[in-house]
Each structure stands twice: as C-alpha cells, then as structure tokens.
Amino acid sequence: MKIALIGVGNVGKSVLMDIISLGVCDEIALVGRNEEKLKAEILDIRDAAVLWDDNVPALSFGGYENTAGADIILYSAGSPKISDDRMKLAHDNFIVAKSIFEEVKKYNCDGIIICISNPLDVITTAAQIYSDRPTSKVIGTGTLLESARLRRLIADILDISSNSVNITVIGEHGNSCVPVLSSCRIMGLTLEEYLKEDIGADTGISVSHIQEAVKNQAFKIYAGKGYTNYGVSASACKLVKAIVNNTREILPVSSVLSGEYSVTGYAVSVPCIIGKDGIVSVRNMKLSENESEAFARSCEIIKSALINEGLPLP
C-alpha cells in the first residue's frame, strides 16, 4: 500500500504523522514543488523514528511523478490565507487544484483521491474533473468534521459521551452546512424523546444555535492558533482506514453526485458507504422540509462558486 501526500503545510504535516501512526501502508510519498522542505520533513521523521517502537513506512519525496503507483492520494495543497468564509478561497485554490491534478493524471490514473483543501466541495469537484477518474474515486472529507463537532456539542450539552450521539451534517463544508437534527439519535431515541426521558424538559437546542456553533468552531480555532489541523487530519485518516480495511462505513463525505439529492455534476456532502474502492454508493437520507430547503440553498452556494470558475453545470 502506497499513499501519496500532496501538500505538507500545517495540515499536511498532521496528516503525515497520523498516517504513520495508523500503520496501514508500506510507503508514503511526499509530493510538492519545494523538494528541500520535503526532504527536511523526512529527515526529521527519520530522527524521531529511532525513538519510536514501531516501524516507519518507507518515505520518499519528489514532484508529481512521485504519485505513480499510489493507491491513495491525499490532497492538502492550497492557499495559506485565512478567511471567515472558505468560499473566498475558491478562485486561487481552484486554479492550484486544476494545475496539480492535470499533472497528477499523467502519472496516476486510478488511485483514490481524498481532498482536504478548502473550499472543500469546490476542490473535490475540480479534483474529479481534472484528474479524469470516476466519481467513486474522489472523496472530500466534507462534513465528516462538522458531524463530529456537532456530536461533541450535543454530548457536552447533555453531559454524555459523544460516542452515544448519532447525528449527521450535510451540504457545504462551510458556513451553509446543514445539521440534520431530525436524524439525531441517542440510545435509539430522538433528541426530543431523550430529553423527555432524561430530564422531562426541552433544553432549547435549536437548528440556528447548532448551525452557528458548528460554523464558528473552526474560526475560534483559527483565531487562537492561525489554522486547524488535528480535526481535519483525523477526518482524512478515518477515510483512509475505511478504504484500507474495507469497513463499508456510512460517512458524510463530499462527492460529485449524478442526480442523487437532485444534484448533478458537482460535489456536496451526503452520507456515502466507503469501502476498498472508494465510494461504494450514495445513501438517501430522509430530510424534513426545512432541512431540504436548507440543503438546496447550500448546494446553490457550491454551484455558484463553480460556475464562477467557468464550469458549465446544468
């Protein structure tokens, strides 16, 4: 198993360390234009490896030719700019992604691509188009992270483990993401049922409160340290494990859709089964009327950004 990592900035370095700790591959190839930096990262890890008990996979570095033979390609390249709206990064990062994946496809035409860079849904769409591979083989980490944040938020409010909360966020990985509160289950109970069973009252948890809390979490982190890295790296590694181990987990990820949820030709996060070949299938999710309307608005934001980049979407 060979994994290639394109982009070794703050996020990429976290992904690199997490992939090493997973122990799921024989080789990790670092890919980028600054080969001196890539070489330095590898030398630093090799020093650390002397003090680790576990074996470290073979490490290499180079240009896009180093993606050849990779089973999984992790993409975390892009602008280092910080914005309160990920879509403001769309133009610069779309151009970068287009140029990179036009090069990648010369050396690798069948590896599964996992996109991490923002704006996530725009970049996932670009990766699928310009890498020239099936939609099943291009996955964005999408709202997997928002879903985790929402689980933690509800768990904190209710003072229970986040492992006991099952809920999904769909739509844009960004400000318009849609928390599907109607899907929330705790011990098999809806949120309302659990509240009545547990405390006999409503805590006042609202969709608007939840959406604001999820949306603002990333920017609280940005404000404090200048970037986010651990959560998104964990999301990427969750997908790597699902692919390598063929777990067939249903996860909310960004994928270019072909009519599902009335979306065609661009990526948005919805529940998908993830297995050894990437996306096995897109799963339908029952939404309330309000959730359906919010999802449609979220999709329009992604679609508009892509049209602005010249993509002829239906």
Please give the torsion angle defined by the CA atoms of residues 245, 246, 252 and 253, in that order, rounded to the nearest 10 degrees.
90
The CB density around residue 188, as the number of other CB atoms within 10 Å, is 8
The CB density around residue 270, as the number of other CB atoms within 10 Å, is 23
Contact 176, 86 (CB under 8 A): no
Burial string for 154-172 (b: 16+ CB within 10 Å, else e) reads bbeebeeeeeebebbbbbb
User: DSSP letter string over 240-303?
Assistant: HHHHHTT--EEEEEEEEEESGGG-EEEEEEEEEEEETTEEEEE------HHHHHHHHHHHHHHH
From the candidates 2, 86, 151, 173, give the one annotated as an active-site residue.
173
Token representation of residue 31: 């890919």
Report d(CA 267, CA 299) in Å as an integer: 9
Catalytic status, residue 173: yes
Report d(CA 68, CA 77) in Å as an integer: 18
Report d(CA 79, CA 221) in Å as an integer: 18
The size of the chain, in residues, is: 314
* CA-to-CA separations, 96 to 54, 87, 93, 127, in angstroms, rounded: 36, 15, 5, 10
The CB density around residue 87, as the number of other CB atoms within 10 Å, is 20
* CA-to-CA separations, 98 to 5, 34, 92, 101, 129, in angstroms, rounded: 17, 19, 10, 5, 9
- The catalytic site residues sit at 173
